[in-house]
Amino acid sequence: MTEYLAVDGGTIAYEVAGSGPLVVLAHGMGDSRAAYRAVIPQLVEAGYRVAAVDLRGCGESSVGWPAWSRTAIAGDLLAVIRHLGGPAVLVGHSVSGGAATIAAAQEPSLVTAVVELTPFTRKQSISLGDLRVKRVRRGMLRLVGTATFGSASLWASYLDVAYPGVKPADWTERLGRIDSLLREPGRMKALQGMGRSAPTDAGAQLGNVRCPVLVVMGTLDPDWADPHAEGSAIVDALPSGLGRLEMIEGAGHYPHDQFPDQVISLILGFLRSEAVRA
């Protein structure tokens, strides 16, 4: 059942399932909390209270926000955690990975651990060498086209690249739902705004994080020529010993949707580790 939280600038939609320690799930741009539909039941079964959030401008959250930065998103996520009586483990995908970093740095008492799924958490640059990698070139062209023209069909084409090989069983239904949402007034503007928001604010906070961090990257992510190098750079920028990188072979930019069982196994192992329990 959808619940709503009024925050400065609008209303955030979310749903809660299960009981136990709180885990908050935040999706990437152009999406909704449905991105975690295969993950939520397994976390609940493992004994967690799971709150899946629609980012500002996305899903069932309100539109017309004044800012789309990771810092702004982090504020929304912290508001949800406070409202639900945190602290919480914060799971963020893509743009929300950077937001989770900021939230953990700003409010260490509210965030006990962070999971970053294929996150944009550092300043990005694309070289000619990167564009020689076919999947990166294909993904970049579609992302630029989406940002420039506000095209839902180009975004769907990007998703096809971002899910290499393995597609969820409900792929057609998922694409239809995403397309429908993006055609609602204000939703594409949210995607474009997040896409134009640089992750430098998140990168500046990496050294201020005080909780354990798990970074999960897909080996075939079209957003980076070398996803392992990007994940390693995030871990290296964290205080020593806090970060850990895991790679999922064959995954693109949505490992939690392509390979939910593997992602859940990594997350649960991380949450049960001595570093997190401490």
Residues 189-232 pLDDT 10s: 999 999 999 999 999 999 999 999 999 999 999 999 999 999 99
Question: How far is Cα of residue 128 from the mean position of the Cα atoms in its chain?
Answer: 27
Residue 130 has what pLDDT?
A: 78
Residue 176 has what pLDDT?
A: 97
Which tokens sit at 120? Answer: 């944009």
Dump pLDDT digits (tens) for 131-164: 788 999 999 999 999 999 999 999 999 999 999 9
Residue 128 has what pLDDT?
A: 74
* Cα separations in angstroms, 35 against 7, 71, 77, 130, 171: 23, 22, 17, 28, 11
Domains: count for the chain = 1
Going across the sheet that includes 243-248, the strands are: 3-7, 10-17, 49-53, 22-26, 88-93, 111-117, 213-218, 243-248
Residue 33, SS3 per DSSP = helix
| Neighbouring C-beta atoms of residue 196, cutoff 10 Å | 10
- The CATH number for 59's domain is 3.40.50.1820
Comparison of pLDDT for 73 and 277, the residue scoring more: 73
The percentage of residues in the chain with a pLDDT greater than 90, rounded to a whole number, is: 91
Residue 200 has what pLDDT?
A: 96
Mean pLDDT of 239-259: 97
Mean pLDDT of 253-272: 97
Residue 138 has what pLDDT?
A: 92
Mean pLDDT of 247-257: 98
Residue 133 has what pLDDT?
A: 86
Residue 101 has what pLDDT?
A: 98
Dump pLDDT digits (tens) for 74-92: 999 999 999 999 899 999 9
Mean pLDDT of the chain: 95
Residue 278 has what pLDDT?
A: 56
Total-model pTM: 0.95
Whether residue 237 contacts residue 204, with contact meaning beta carbons closer than 8 Å, is answered with: no
| Neighbouring C-beta atoms of residue 192, cutoff 10 Å | 19
Domain that holds residue 97: 3-277
pLDDT of 242 above 60: yes
CA distance 240 to 219: 24
51-60, 104-113, 219-228, 266-275: lowest mean pLDDT where? 266-275
| Neighbouring C-beta atoms of residue 207, cutoff 10 Å | 10
Q: Is the dihedral of CA 25, 28, 30, 34 positive or negative?
A: negative
